Each structure stands twice: as C-alpha cells, then as structure tokens.
DNA sequence: ACATGATGGACAATCTGGTTGACTATATCG
DNA sequence: CGATATAGTCAACCAGATTGTCCATCATGT
C-alpha cells in the first residue's frame, strides 16, 4: 500500500466522531441524556425563529416527510414544539423549546471546552492553523447535512 | 452564540465528506460506478487475507447477520467472493476479487492525489502539521466504523 | 370573484439496512 | 462420547428514509 492519502480522511472522521461522542457523553451528564448526534444539527437548522417541516427538509436535504418524522421525534423528547401560523393556516411553525435552547447552549459551551482541550494539547497557534486550513479546504458552509443515507446505501 | 468550538467538528465533517465525495466521483470515472462510501471501509476491514462474516461483524461493530448482508451486497457488485474453508467446513472465507483489489488500489491513488491537492493549497509543511495534530488527538487506530446507526437513531 | 395552480402537511406503501431470536451443522474440549 | 461453543442462514421486526397520493389552503390572473 504505502498510501499516505488514506490517513487524512480516516483521521478527519475519527476526530469528528470523537468530538461528537464526547459532546454527548457530557450532555447526558448535564441533563440531556436523550440528545442524539442528529438532534444538534437539526436544531441548528431550525434556528431561533423556527421553521416548517418542508423548509427544514430542504435545508437538511431530505424529503419533507422525513423532516416531519424527525420533528416528531424532537417533539417527543421535548426539544421542539409546533404551533399554527396565524398568517398561513397551512403552515405549522416548528420552534425550539426552552429545553431545546438549553441543549444548544450547553452544546456550544461543551464544544468550547473540547476546543480548549485541543488548544491545550496542540497549542493555540497550531489549532488556529488547523482550523484555518480546514476552512480553506471546505466549502463556505452550506448546511446540507444529509448524512443519513449518504454513508449507508449498500 | 459566539461559540468558537462549533466550527471545529463541522469543518472536520465537511472535509471528510468532501474527500469521500471526490473519491467516489473519480472512482466512478475510473470504472467503479457502484462503489459506495461504505464499501471501501468494509473492504479495508476484509483485508488481503480474507475474513469471515462473523469476524467482519466484530471488526465493524455490527451483528454477524448485518455483516452477512453487507458481504452479499459486495458480492453482487463483484468486489468479494466467498469460498469454503477446507480446515473448518463451517467457515466461509470472504475474499476480495481482482476487481475489488483494483477498487482499493485506485482508491489509494486517488486519495494520494487529493492529498497532493491539499499539499498544493496549504503547503506540505502545514499539511504534515495538520495530519500530525489529528493523529495526536485521535485514538491510536481502532476500526469500529459503526457509522450506520451511530449518527441516526432519532 | 373565481378558477387554476402552487404549497404545506399528512397518510400509506415500500425499500434498505440494521436488530434479535431460533435453528442447523460442525468443531473442540472434557 | 457427550457437552459446549462457533459459523452461517432464515425469519420476523424495527427505524428511517423514499415516493406517491390526497386534501386544505394560499396566491395569481383573467
């Protein structure tokens, strides 16, 4: 083999996974045991002003039905709530609850802590360089986290 | 918000995804249109000497039945073949075919090319630093790519 | 004002890939 | 030899996605 290029994607994935796993371990300790990796991304996509199932589906790159099911799941856990839109009675606005916002706030703080650990290990200089390099190599940042299905599909 | 820590995992994921997508676009051009992200990982796990469904399941962190179905899918595409083990008639050895090995070899070359592009953009120094830093922050080596299921699970 | 078309949401059927459980055949070990 | 463990397969089920269909409601153009 002796392919140097194999390591890069593998390490990127491992690093991502490690951060996410540590995030959720800590979230569980802080009163959010039901939070799943998917939830954070979806709640970010919902945003502070709320959204609708159709719009959410477009943002996430999945069908509106799939988005609807995801919203149902988040509703069951208590992270979002649905309300009618007075200006368009077809629409049902999906909004984050206080509990959901708490999950997001805690996630942010935990990610900061994890980043601080990286800075501690690597040095702030090196970490800034790493972030800058990743920023340089990745697309500006459109969401489109259609991870489910993307990796799978044999 | 102003959470600096949010960016790191997101960029790691985007970078990983970008590399994998580019890999598969190029693989499709090179005669492997059926190759899916999962396949490369599974074929790596199978290794040059072959393995069995049970063993593969343990390596990948899934049930032996799931591993069996995955092997079936790879067999349909022509990446692996199954043969009886003369020394233990219960076992069926799963081996990479020439076509499967070709896919792995091409993957390695394409990853090298992609890495070269990164080196071109960032400079070899910076890329080496990035790889070194990721190596430092991620666990030594465990496979255990039980991605399916891990991210999902609402 | 109203017919037409577009949009939001829900329901149902299906597909895929995972799970557990049960079963058979074969090894291995006391 | 008999008891236990292991490899593989079959079957049933579950979760999360898909498409297709339907209905209610908005928006538009004549």
- Kindly state whether residue B112 falls inside one of the protein's structural domains: yes
Dist CA B128 CA B21 (whole Å): 22
Report the pLDDT value the prediction gives residue A140, as an integer from 0 to 100: 75
Q: Are A144 and A138 in contact (CB under 8 A)?
A: no
Which nucleotide has the shortest C1'-to-CA distance from B56?
D7
From residues 41-80 of B, which are strand D contacts by CB within 7 A? 52-55, 64-65, 68
- Kindly state whether residue B124 falls inside one of the protein's structural domains: yes
CATH number at residue B51: 1.10.10.10
Please give the average pLDDT of every successive group of 10 residues along chain B, which has 154 residues. Answer: 82 91 94 90 93 94 94 94 95 97 96 98 98 92 65 65
Q: Are A79 and A100 in contact (CB under 8 A)?
A: yes
Beta strands in chain A (DSSP E): 80-84, 92-96
- Kindly state whether residue B152 falls inside one of the protein's structural domains: no
Report the pLDDT value the prediction gives residue B4, as an integer from 0 to 100: 83
**Which regions of chain A are under pLDDT 50?**
none
- What is the CA A86 to C1' D29 distance in angstroms? 26
Contact, A88 CB vs strand D, < 7 Å: yes
Contacts of A5 in chain B (CB under 8 A): 108, 110-116
Report the pLDDT value the prediction gives residue B3, as an integer from 0 to 100: 80
Q: Contact B14/A138, CB-based, under 8 Å? A: yes
- Kindly state whether residue A153 falls inside one of the protein's structural domains: no
Dist CA B48 CA B30 (whole Å): 22
Report the pLDDT value the prediction gives residue B139, as an integer from 0 to 100: 81
Identify the three-state secondary structure at position A104: helix
- Residue A57: which domain range? 7-148
Contacts of B149 in chain A (CB under 8 A): none
Total domain count for chain A? 1
- Kindly state whether residue A64 falls inside one of the protein's structural domains: yes
Distances (CA, A) of A38 to A5, A22, A148, B103, B144: 29, 14, 9, 31, 19
Dist CA B129 CA A130 (whole Å): 8
Report the pLDDT value the prediction gives residue B38, as an integer from 0 to 100: 87
Contacts of A145 in chain B (CB under 8 A): 13
pLDDT tens, residue by residue, A62-87: 999 999 999 999 999 999 999 999 99
Report the pLDDT value the prediction gives residue B79, as an integer from 0 to 100: 96
Dist CA A19 CA B66 (whole Å): 27
């Amino acid at each position: 083999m002796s392919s140097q290029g194999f390591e890069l994607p593998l390490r990127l994935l491992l690093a991502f996974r490690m951060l996410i796993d540590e995030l959720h371990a800590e979230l569980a300790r802080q009163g959010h045991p039901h939070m799943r990796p998917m939830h954070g991304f979806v709640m970010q996509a919902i945003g502070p002003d709320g959204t609708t199932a159709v719009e959410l589906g477009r943002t996430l790159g999945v069908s509106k039905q799939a988005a609807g099911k995801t919203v149902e799941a988040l509703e069951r856990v208590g992270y979002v709530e649905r309300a009618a839109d007075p200006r368009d009675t077809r629409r049902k606005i999906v909004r984050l609850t206080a509990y959901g916002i708490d999950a997001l706030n805690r996630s942010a703080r935990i990610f900061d802590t994890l980043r601080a650990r990286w800075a501690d290990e690597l040095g702030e200089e090196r970490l800034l360089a790493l972030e800058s390099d990743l920023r340089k190599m990745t697309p500006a940042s459109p969401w489109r986290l259609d991870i489910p299905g993307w990796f799978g599909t044999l």
